Amino acid sequence: MEKVSIYYLRTSDLAKAVGIHPNTVRLYVDWGLLPPVEKSPSGYRLFTQRHLECLRLARMIYAEPYPGKHLRSTGKAILMAVVKDDWGGALEKAFQHWSAVKSELTHAETALMLLDHWVEGLPTEPFQVPLSIAEVSALLHVSRDVIRNWERNGLITIPRNSYNRYRIFGTTEIGRMRVIRMLSQAGYSHMAILRMFIELEGGAKDDLRHVLDTPRPDEDVFMASDRWLSTLHEHELRAEQIIWFIKDHLETM
């Protein structure tokens, strides 16, 4: 039987093909993000087309950090299936990842609906008497430390009892805290929420969605959660690209 020759690629070949430094390729190997690599008698790594396809997918997944542990783990699950040469399983994981991104988007949009409702001045609280911090903590299912942290970070100003200096929470404070909690749980950063409140208190009510998603020029260092909607929409597009990449590979097998 005729022996089938294998065309091997060098580390530099893979690096050039995806536009990264050769050291990054070596890191991917060390981290287990590429299939095991044979070595030549002289110690050089011998990559194949399979490694290149896996690297291309890895770059789609890891080109930018995923926002949050859950999306990071669903993205990694795709790559781990491909490392095992289980492309069918990778496609299943890719759809799960896409669904996870869509779920985050839905959560983010729902939080914005509550924000719009609150900004319009519609009532959100049935309470007519002030509540204590313990009562508000139980009502909103957040710890007292979280409430104090919101206050320290300027997200809310809580009036104090003039006699004992205890915090007192009325309908205004509780409604605002519901907005803070839901935006925070939906992924928006404290900086983005504070930016939105500053604009709102300055009289701007028409485009708070854009404000939440757009860091100011003086925010020279910002995270994905500081522009949360844009980040999620970018990852939605990438999740779709990952699905099509895997489908194309399956069609050529």
The residue from 18, 37, 63 where one domain ends is: 63
Same domain? 105 vs 126: yes
Q: pTM to 2 decimals?
A: 0.83
Residues 6+ apart with CB under 8 A from 13: 47, 52
Same domain? 73 vs 59: no
The number of folded domains in the chain is: 2
Describe the crossing of helices 144-152 and 133-140 by its angle, rounded to 10 degrees: 100
The residue from 17, 32, 63 where one domain ends is: 63
Same domain? 18 vs 32: yes
pLDDT tens, residue order, the chain (253 aa): 444 456 889 999 999 999 999 999 999 999 999 999 988 888 888 999 999 999 999 999 887 777 788 899 999 999 999 999 999 999 999 999 999 999 999 999 999 988 888 888 766 666 566 888 899 999 999 999 999 999 999 999 888 887 888 888 888 888 899 999 999 999 999 999 999 998 888 877 778 888 888 888 877 667 888 889 999 999 999 999 999 999 999 998 7
The residue from 27, 48, 63 where one domain ends is: 63
Same domain? 159 vs 230: yes
Apex CA 221: angle with CA 216 and CA 225, to 5°? 80
Helical ranges in 36-170 per DSSP H: 49-62, 69-83, 87-119, 133-140, 144-152
Residue span of the structural domain in which 13 resides: 1-63
Same domain? 84 vs 111: yes
Same domain? 43 vs 158: no
What CATH number does the domain containing 23 carry?
A: 1.10.1660.10
* CB burial readout 221-249, b (16+ within 10 A) else e: eeebbbbbbebbeebeebbeebbebbeeb
Describe the crossing of helices 87-119 and 228-252 by its angle, rounded to 10 degrees: 160
Residues 6+ apart with CB under 8 A from 155: 180, 190, 193, 194, 197
What are the structure tokens assigned to 62, written together? 């890891």
Same domain? 7 vs 76: no
Strand pairing category for 45-46 and 38-39: antiparallel
Neighbours of 53 (CB within 10 A): 18
Same domain? 92 vs 35: no
